[in-house]
Structure 1
Amino acid sequence: MTKHIAHVESAVKKWLQPDNFALKKAIDKTVSEGLFSTEDIRYQIRVLKRNVESGQIREWAERSGLKDERSAAGKKVLCLHAGNLPLVGFQTALGVILSGADYYGKLSRKDPYLMQSFLKLAEHELTGSEIQFSTDLNAFRELNADEVIFAGSEDSVEVIKKEIAGIKATRAEAGYHIRTAKYSMVYLDNKDPETMKDFAEAVLRYEGQGCRSVAIVVSPYRLDSFKCEMTDYIELFWMHNPPEGKVSPGVEYQFAFNKAIERSQAWLDHFLIQETDELPKYDRVVNWVPGDEAKVREMVSKAGKQLQSVYTTGNRIEGVETELVSKAQRPDLWWKPDGVDVIRTLINNER
C-alpha cells in the first residue's frame, strides 16, 4: 500500500509539472471553447499543486485508514462528474484510485479536457487497477458497477438512477453515494483586510458556482454598514479575475422586488447581495442575514442538505462544524463533500 500511494503521488506530481504539454493543451482548449476562465483554471491547479507538494495525498490515505487489508481492490466504481467548476471531479477520481478500486469516470461535457489530461496520464502510469473514462454514459453499458458516486439536485436522483439502470451500468444492489449540497455559509464578524479578501474569494471565485462558494452570510453587522468595504474588495477581486457570467432574469426581478419593498441590497452587475434570512433561490445571489451565532445554528437547520460548509473567521460556533473562510476555495484534499470521505466509504463498504 505504501508503494501504491507513492506511485499515485508521483503520477499526480508528473501531471502538475509546468512542462506537461498535455495539461497545457487541455487548459488552452478549455479556455478557447469558453468553458472556464484562465484565472479560475490556474487558481484550481495552484491549489492542487500546493496540496500535493505538501504531502496531502499520503496524509489523506492515512486519515482515511487506507491499509492493505481494507483496500477496495476489484471494486468497480462509476463516477458521474459534475462540470460546474474546473477539475471539480479531481478529488473523487483521486480518492477512488487511491482506494485501489477500479475507476470508471463519466466526464462532464462542460469540463472534459482537464480531467482527461490527468486520467490519461494516470491510466499510463498506474497499472494496479482499471481506469476508464468517457463523456458518453453509454460507454459504461453493462459495466455492472458496485458503487456509484455523483453530484446533483435531489430532483435528478431518480432520473439518473433510472438512466443508469437502463443500460445496466450498475448491479441491482449497487451502492449510491449522492451529493446534493448547493452552497456554503459564512459567519462574518469582522472587517479586517485579510478577512475581506478571503470573503470576496469565497463568494466570487468560480462565479459563485461551487458548493463551497458562499451564498449565505450571517453577520452581527447590517448589510448597509458593510457595503462600502465589501464593494471595494469585490472590485479588487474582479480587477484580477474579470467576471464573465450574467445574472438570470429571475435575479433582475428579485432586485426590482427588493427595491419596491425597500429591502437593503447591493447590486453589483454580476451579483446581487440582499438582506434576508430566506434560503438562496438563484445563482449569483448572496443572502445577508443579520444575527449572531444562534442565527448561524438556525440557518444551518433551515438549509439542511443544501448546505455544504460553514466558515468562520477563526472563532468556533458551538454545535456547528466549521472551517476557516480562508480555506473556502482552497480545501485540503481530504475535505469531505457532503460530509463523506470517499476513500473511507469505499474501503469500509459504507452506504
Structure 2
Amino acid sequence: MYEGYVRKRTLAAFGLLFLIFLVSLFSLMKGAYPLSSREVFNALLGKGSRAAVYTVWNIRLPRIVAAVLVGASLALSGAVLQGILRNPLATPFTMGVSHGAMFGASLAIILGAGYAESSGRVVVDNPYAIVLFAFMGAMLSTIVIVSLAKLKGLSPQAMILAGVAMSSLFMAMTTLIQYFANELQLAAMVYWSFGDLGRPYWREDLIMLVSFIPTLGYFLAKRWDLNATSIGDEVALSIGVEVDKFRMISAILSAYITAVSVAFVGVIGFIGLIAPHAIRLMFGGDYRFLIPLSTLLGSLILLVADTFARLAFSPMILPVGVVTSFLGAPTFLYLLIKMEGAR
C-alpha cells in the first residue's frame, strides 16, 4: 500500500513536468510571430532564421523560465507558511510581502529612480533601483513580524493578523505616496504594480534561480519538521524540533524567495494559495510530496496564466497578475466558506 502511495505521487510529479514542457513548447510557438515546432527546436539549437532565434532566446524563453521560477517560488512559500502557521490562508500575499514591495517600488519612483518618459510611454530607465527598493520593502514586513513574534511571543494566528496589519499599513503609505506623485510617477507606480513576466531577462532569471534552489533544498531537508510543525507545536517539540527557531527561519526564507520574485516581476497574487491547496486536496498534506508537487503546480499555473495573458487579446498583453487574481479570488472565498463550515 505504501508503495502505491509513493508511486501515485511520483507519477503526478512526472505528469506535472510533462505538462510544463508541453505548455512551454506551446508558449514558444505562439505569439505575434508564430513559429512551428520545427522552427522552435532549430532556434533552440541556434539554427534557422535570425528572427526565430532572437524571438525564442531573447523574448519567449526568458519569460517562460521566469514564469516557472516565480510560480515555483510563490507556491513553495505558500505551502511552507501554511504549515508553520497552521493556517490555510497564510500566503506571501496575506503576510504583507507583496504590499511591502509595492511600497518600496513607489518610494523609489517618487524619489526619481527608475522611470522616464519616451514618446508618450513610461519606460524603465534604471530598473535595479526599483528592484532594490521593492526587495527591501518586501523584506521589511517579514522582519517586523518575525521581530514581534520573537520579542512578544506571538502565536501563529497572531502572526497572520500582524501580516494583515502590515499589509494595511503599506497600502496606506503607498496611497499617500501616490497622492503626492505627478502624472508620470503615478503611471509608473501603476505600471509596476501589474505583474509582468516580460521584465526579467537571463540575468534576473539566474538571480531568482540562485535564490530558489538553496531554499527549496532547505525545506526538502526539513520536510519532517514541517510535517510535525503543521500538526502542532507539542508534536514538533516532542520529536526535538526547535519550533520557534524553525518557524522564524522558515518565515524569513519564504519571504526572501517571494521578495526576490516580486521585486523583478511585480505583484502576482494567489499562486501561493491555489497550488498548495490543490495538491492537498488531491494528494494530502505530507510535506515530503507537498513541497515538490506544489512547486511544480505553481510553475504550471503561472505558465498557463501568462500564456493566456499573452494570447487572449493579442497583440495586447494582459498583466498576468490580473489573470491569477481572477483564479485566486474564488479560491480564497471558497476556503473562507469551508473554514466557517468546519466550525
What TM-score range do you get, normalising by the shorter chain?
under 0.3
- Structure ranking higher on relative contact order (CA contacts 8 Å, 6+ apart): 2
Of Structure 1 and Structure 2, which has the larger fraction of its residues in helix?
2
Provide TM-score, normalisation by structure 1.
Answer: 0.27
Provide TM-score, normalisation by structure 2.
Answer: 0.27
